[in-house]
């Protein structure tokens, strides 16, 4: 039985622990924090009681990711252990998927059904429905191609996606051309849906990966089909329930979980080209393989070091955006707000140019809201709301002191909600609050420059590529998380953990994937039944 260390108990590390342990390897998972789940943490806030008011009570917030898509990734992970995800981790399907608020006072819901959405678009902005249908057909094709070229395997560059000697058939070449390499997401979207507001709505698929649609490659348009074909889901108990469910599964299989134990180094042999263990609490602990769920670039720079560390530091990977998150306990919910909402900026190009090119907070930002109380009344006192507000910002830049910048930007965000989302009295409804700034995110999660989503997916030709899950520089080292292939977002991070564990299992001569797990993760697998 191979002994495998996992560094970091985020969703990628927990997914890797479940898969590796289910395949017969002995896993020890280390995390520097006292909790497991990484950014999928939970925040409980108790509001003060005030005479004559409806204040008081407890609010529960998902601190990190709040949108779950592509549930078949979770199904495959549970199936690896012979378990049913729908039974162990029930999900609630959400439709409409988002409610969109625009600066001109208009609103539209993003609906799962493509035909229904196209009809709504034609009512909202005549002449856009047909283009949306065509966009979704293209997105479906990109999703199919991504499944064959990018998903479920370690990829670091174009050479890892295609065996050029074996696969240079006409159909393969057609798929390569369909990837739209050399094109950007924003241009593709506006070529199909010219209305500026509807284009903004579709642009924000890119925000799952913390990137600008004006800089990201066209292949990311595939997210549109992932969402339309497989839905948006709310795990019962919030997205924190995913972390807890994976931790419970890993432990039930026999994995040793060690929160509060930081790995500070690797035991490297053969001139730094093979890993033989980890260093934790001053002790060197031997392992046959190591899966790092720590940020990939920081793994190479801080744990591997030497030539390899310098090589990855020089590759020019750009951190994805960071963000300001407000956790607002409200004494009254807003009935016109859906579970997921986007309150869009006045000008998409101005917003993304500020964040990604100028490196400054957008003067008029887009705010993402999660208002889960209508779906899950347990998040807030009766009639209240646990409102999560996320505004993307640049990753940390020299000279930016968020302890000084935050108060004014908090007011910018609240003013945006008042002006564009019909929440004029929001400051009167807040009874308790907390916040995270880019500096907090950097310090709390040990990510690169406070980047929520790991590495940006920028570059029309190679923007989709991240460090591979099987290290080419250090034998026995594998990578998971948002800064490794296939990138950020809940399903992709968990897929990265699956890929890292699968690559390790292959290299160690393990048992491989079961047929049940293979079927559970396919696009054609039946969708799970929604929880009541």
The 3-state secondary structure of 344-400 reads CCCCHHHHHHHHHHHCCCCCCCCEEEECHHHCCHHHCCCCCEEEEEEEEECCCCCCC
- Angstrom CA distances, 59 to 27, 46, 339, 376, 516, stand at 35, 6, 16, 12, 39
**Pair of tokens at residue 171:** 């159909």
* Torsion sign over Cα 419, 423, 425, 429: negative
Q: How far apart are CA 372 and CA 94, in angstroms?
A: 11
Give the per-residue pLDDT at 52: 46
Q: What is the mean pLDDT of each run of 10 residues along the chain (532 residues)?
A: 95 98 98 94 88 70 95 97 96 97 98 98 98 96 85 74 48 45 85 97 88 89 94 96 98 98 96 96 97 93 90 82 97 97 96 96 97 97 97 95 97 98 97 96 86 78 74 96 90 96 96 94 69 54
Q: How far apart are CA 62 and CA 389, in angstroms?
A: 11
Q: How far apart are CA 486 and CA 469, in angstroms?
A: 9
Ramachandran bin of 513, using left for φ above 0, alpha for ψ from -120 to 50, beta for the remaining angles: beta
List the end-to-end C-alpha distance of the chain, in Å, as a whole number.
41
φ/ψ of residue 526, rounded to 5 = -60, 140
Give the per-residue pLDDT at 461: 47
Give the per-residue pLDDT at 444: 87
Q: How far apart are CA 240 and CA 66, in angstroms?
A: 9
* Torsion sign over Cα 481, 483, 487, 488: positive
Residues pairing with 391 in the sheet: 324, 367
Q: How far apart are CA 105 and CA 121, in angstroms?
A: 16
Tell me which DSSP letter residue 182 carries: T
Strand duo 367-370 + 340-343: pairing: antiparallel
Its CATH class, for the domain covering 3-40+238-318+461-519, is alpha beta
Give the per-residue pLDDT at 158: 57
Q: How far apart are CA 410 and CA 328, in angstroms?
A: 12
Host H or E run for residue 419: helix 402-420
| In the block, residue with structure tokens 């479920």 | 152
* Domain range summary for the chain, segments of one domain joined by +: 3-40+238-318+461-519, 113-230, 319-445
Strand duo 263-269 + 274-280: pairing: antiparallel
- Give the long-range contacts of residues 163-171, CB within 8 A, separation 24 or more: none
Cβ distance 371 to 341 under 8 Å? yes
φ/ψ of residue 180, rounded to 5 = 70, 30
Give the per-residue pLDDT at 50: 67
Q: How far apart are CA 234 and CA 388, in angstroms?
A: 14
Tell me which DSSP letter residue 528 carries: P
φ/ψ of residue 251, rounded to 5 = -70, -40
Give the per-residue pLDDT at 531: 57
Relative orientation angle of helices 72-80 and 240-253, to the nearest 10 degrees: 20
Residue of 249, 271, 169, 179 lying closest to 216 (CA atoms): 179
- Angstrom CA distances, 225 to 14, 41, 128, 138, 145, stand at 27, 28, 18, 9, 12
Residue of 366, 24, 415, 387 lying closest to 199 (CA atoms): 366
φ/ψ of residue 437, rounded to 5 = -110, 170
């Amino acid at each position: 039985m191979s002994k495998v260390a996992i560094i970091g108990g985020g969703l990628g590390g927990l997914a890797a622990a479940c898969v590796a342990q289910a395949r017969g390897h002995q896993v020890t998972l280390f995390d520097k924090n006292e909790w497991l789940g990484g950014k999928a943490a939970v925040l409980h806030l108790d509001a003060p009681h005030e005479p004559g008011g409806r204040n008081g009570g407890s609010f529960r917030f998902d601190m990190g990711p709040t949108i779950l898509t592509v549930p078949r990734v979770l199904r495959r992970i549970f199936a690896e252990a012979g378990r049913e995800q729908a039974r162990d981790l029930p999900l609630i399907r959400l439709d409409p998927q988002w409610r969109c608020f625009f600066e001109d006072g208009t609103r539209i819901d993003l609906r799962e059904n493509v035909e229904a959405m196209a009809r709504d678009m034609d009512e909202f902005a005549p002449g856009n429905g047909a283009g949306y249908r065509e966009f979704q057909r293209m997105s479906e094709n990109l999703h199919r191609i991504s499944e064959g070229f990018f998903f479920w395997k370690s990829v670091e560059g174009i050479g890892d996606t295609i065996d050029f000697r074996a696969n240079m058939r006409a159909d393969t070449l057609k798929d390569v051309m369909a990837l739209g390499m050399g094109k950007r997401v924003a241009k593709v979207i506006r070529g199909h849906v010219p209305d500026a507001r509807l284009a903004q709505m579709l642009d924000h698929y890119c925000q799952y990966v913390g990137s600008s649609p004006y800089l990201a490659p066209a292949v990311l348009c595939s997210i549109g089909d992932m969402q339309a074909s497989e839905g948006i889901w709310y795990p019962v108990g919030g997205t924190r329930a995913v972390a807890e469910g994976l931790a419970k599964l890993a432990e039930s299989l026999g994995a040793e979980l060690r929160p509060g134990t930081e790995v500070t180094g690797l035991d490297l042999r053969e001139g730094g080209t093979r890993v033989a263990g980890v260093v934790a609490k001053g002790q060197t602990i031997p392992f046959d393989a190591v899966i790092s769920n720590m940020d990939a670039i920081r793994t190479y720079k801080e744990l591997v070091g030497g030539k390899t560390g310098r090589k990855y530091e020089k590759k020019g990977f750009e951190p994805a955006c960071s963000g300001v998150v407000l956790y607002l306990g409200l004494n009254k919910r807003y009935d016109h707000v859906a579970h997921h909402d986007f309150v869009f900026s006045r000008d998409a190009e101005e917003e993304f140019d500020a964040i990604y090119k100028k490196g400054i907070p957008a003067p008029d930002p887009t705010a993402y809201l999660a208002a889960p109380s209508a779906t899950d009344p347990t998040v807030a006192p009766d009639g209240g709301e646990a409102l999560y507000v996320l505004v993307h910002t640049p990753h940390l830049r020299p000279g930016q002191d968020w302890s000084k910048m935050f108060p004014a930007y908090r007011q910018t965000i609240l003013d945006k909600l008042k002006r564009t989302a019909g929440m004029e009295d929001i400051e009167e409804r807040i009874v308790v609050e907390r916040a995270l700034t880019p500096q907090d995110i950097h310090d709390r999660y040990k990510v690169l420059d406070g980047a929520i989503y790991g590495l940006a997916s920028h570059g029309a030709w190679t923007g989709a590529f991240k460090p591979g899950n099987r290290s080419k520089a250090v034998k026995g080292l594998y990578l998971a998380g948002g800064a490794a292939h296939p990138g950020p977002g809940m399903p992709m991070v968990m897929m990265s953990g699956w890929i890292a564990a699968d690559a390790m299992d292959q290299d160690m001569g393990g048992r491989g994937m079961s047929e049940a797990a293979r079927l559970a993760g396919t696009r054609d697998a039946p969708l799970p039944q929604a929880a009541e």
